[in-house]
Structure 1
Amino acid sequence: MARRALILIEGHRGNGLVYVQAAQHLGLHPITLSADPSRYDYLAAESIEAIRVDTDNLDALIRECSRLRATYDIAGITGFPIPGEWVYATVGRLCQYFDLPGPNPESIERCLDKFTQRQLLAEAGVPQPTYRLAANAAEIESAAAEIGLPVIVKPAVGSGSSGGVRLCRNVEEVAEHTTYLLGGQHIWRSSPRILVEEFAQGPNCGPAIMGNEIIGIGAVDFGDQPHFVIREYIYPALLTDDEHKRITNISLSCLRALGLGWGPTCIEFHLTKRGPVVIEVNPRLGGMPDPQLIQLAYGIDLITEHIKLVIGEEWNLRKRHSHTAAARFLFPDRDGILDWIDGDSRAAAVPGVAEVKLYVEPKTPIVRKGDGRAAHVGHVIAASPSLAQTHATLQRAVDLIGWSIRPLPTLGE
Structure 2
Amino acid sequence: MQTILFIGSNKSGTSRDALKTAEELGYFVVLFTDREKFIQQREEFCEVHQMIYFENLLDKELLLNEIEKLQLQGKEIKGCISFIDPFVNLAATLSNEMELSNLSTDALYLMEDKTRFREMMIDHPATPMFDVFRPHIDTLHNCIERHHSSLPLIIKSPVSNGSKDVILVDTKEKLKQGLNKFLSLNPYSVLIEEYLEGPQYLVEVLVHDGEVHIVGVVEQKITKMNRFIVTDYLFPAILKEIEYQKLVETVESITSTLGVINGSCHLEIRLVDGDWKLIEINPRMSGGAMNRIIHEGIGVNLVKETISLYLGEVPNLQGQHHRYVYGKYLTVNSRGKLLKVTGKKRASMHEGVIDVYVKPRKGSILSPPLSMGDRYAYVLAAAETPQKAKEIAINAAKEIKFFLEPL
Same-fold status (TM-score > 0.5) = yes
Distance in 1, Cα, partners of 2:328 & 2:102:
33
Q: Secondary structure at the match of 1:303?
A: helix
Query: Aligned in 2, Cα 1:290/1:133: closer, same or farther, shift over 3 Å?
Result: same
Q: How many residues are treated as equivalent by the alignment?
A: 394
41 and 19 in structure 1: CA distance in 2 versus 1, 3 angstrom threshold: farther
The equivalent of 1:201 in structure 2 is 197
Match of 1:411 in 2: none
Partner of 1:95: 95
Check conservation: 1:324, 1:385, Cα contact below 8 A: yes
Q: Does 1:330 align with 2:330?
A: yes
Report the counterpart of residue 80 of structure 1 in structure 2.
83
Instruction: For residue 335 of structure 1, report the CA deviation from its aligned partner.
Output: 2.5
Displacement after TM superposition at 1:174 (Å): 1.3
Q: In the aligned structure 2, how far is the partner of 1:282 from the partner of 1:313?
A: 22
Q: CA RMSD in A?
A: 1.9
Aligned-residue offset at 1:139: 4.8
Please state how far the C-alpha of 1:248 moved relative to its aligned partner.
Answer: 0.9
Does the aligned pair in 1 maintain the 2:183–2:190 contact within 8 Å?
A: no
Cα separation, partners in 2 of 1:144 and 1:403, compared to 1, 3 Å: same
Q: Deviations over 1:211-266 (max 9, x none)?
A: 11111211111112451111111111121111111111100111011112423110
- 1:357 maps to 357
CA distances 1:30-82 after superposition (whole Å, capped 9, x unpaired): 1011233534787531342101233211111111112212211111110132x
Query: Structure 1 residues 102, 356: CA separation in 2 closer, same or farther (over 3 Å shift)?
Result: farther
1:229-378 equivalences in 2 (<5 Å): 229-374=229-374, 376-378=375-377
Distance 1:61 1:127, change over 3 A: same
Equivalent-residue separation in structure 1 for 2:108 and 2:297 (angstroms): 29
Q: 1:99 to 1:363 in 2, by over 3 A?
A: closer
Residues 43/364 of structure 1: CA separation in 2 closer, same or farther (3 Å cut): closer
Deviation readout 1:7-36 (Å, 9 max, x if unpaired)? 001112322332122112211111011233
The amino acid of 1:157's aligned partner reads V
2-structure distance, mates of 1:41, 1:15: 22
Quick one: structure 1 residues 143 and 292, their matched pair in 2 at CA, closer, same or farther if it must change by over 3 Å? farther
Change in 2 beyond 3 A, CA 1:109/1:68:
same
Aligned to 2:67: 65
| Closer/same/farther in 2, CA of residues 98 and 404 from structure 1, 3 Å limit | same
- Equivalent residue for 1:153? 155
Report the secondary structure of 2:276's partner residue. strand
1:195 is aligned with what amino acid?
A: L
How many Å separate the matches in 2 of 1:220 and 1:153? Answer: 21
Amino acid at match of 2:24: H
Assess, with a 3 A threshold, how the Cα gap between structure 1 residues 170 and 39 changes in structure 2: closer, same or farther. farther
- Which moves more between the two structures, 135-144 or 380-389? 135-144
1:213 alignment partner in structure 2: 213
Match of 1:144 in 2: 147
Structure 1's unaligned 5+ residue stretches are: 409-413
Q: Alignment partner of 2:111: what SS? A: helix
The answer to whether the 8 A contact 1:33-1:52 is kept is yes
Which residue identity lines up with residue 379 of structure 1 in the other structure? Y
Question: Which residue of structure 1 aligns with residue 389 of structure 2?
Answer: 390
* Counterpart AA for 2:398: D
1:30-179 correspondence runs (5 A): 30-36=29-35, 38-39=37-38, 43-47=42-46, 48=48, 49-53=50-54, 54-70=56-72, 71-81=74-84, 85-123=85-123, 125-136=124-135, 137-145=140-148, 148-162=150-164, 164-179=165-180
**Equivalent residue of 2:224, what SS?**
coil
Change (3 A) 1:273 1:160: same
In structure 2, runs of 5+ residues without a counterpart are none
TM-score after normalising by structure 2: 0.91
Aligned to 2:400: 401
Deviation per residue, 1:303-353 (Å, 9 max, x gap): 111112222233210011111112111121222333432000110111211
The answer to whether the 8 A contact 1:210-1:261 is kept is: no
Counting aligned pairs with the same residue, the percent is 21
Tell me, yes or no, if the aligned pair for 2:332 and 2:369 is still in contact at 8 Å: no
The separation in 1 between residues aligned to 2:222 and 2:376, in whole angstroms, is 15
Contact 1:33 1:50 in 2 (8 A): yes
Question: Which of 1, 4, 8 is residue 10 of structure 1 equivalent to?
Answer: 8
Question: Using the alignment, how far apart are the partners of 1:168 and 1:270 within structure 2?
Answer: 19
Tell me, yes or no, if the aligned pair for 2:31 and 2:52 is still in contact at 8 Å: yes
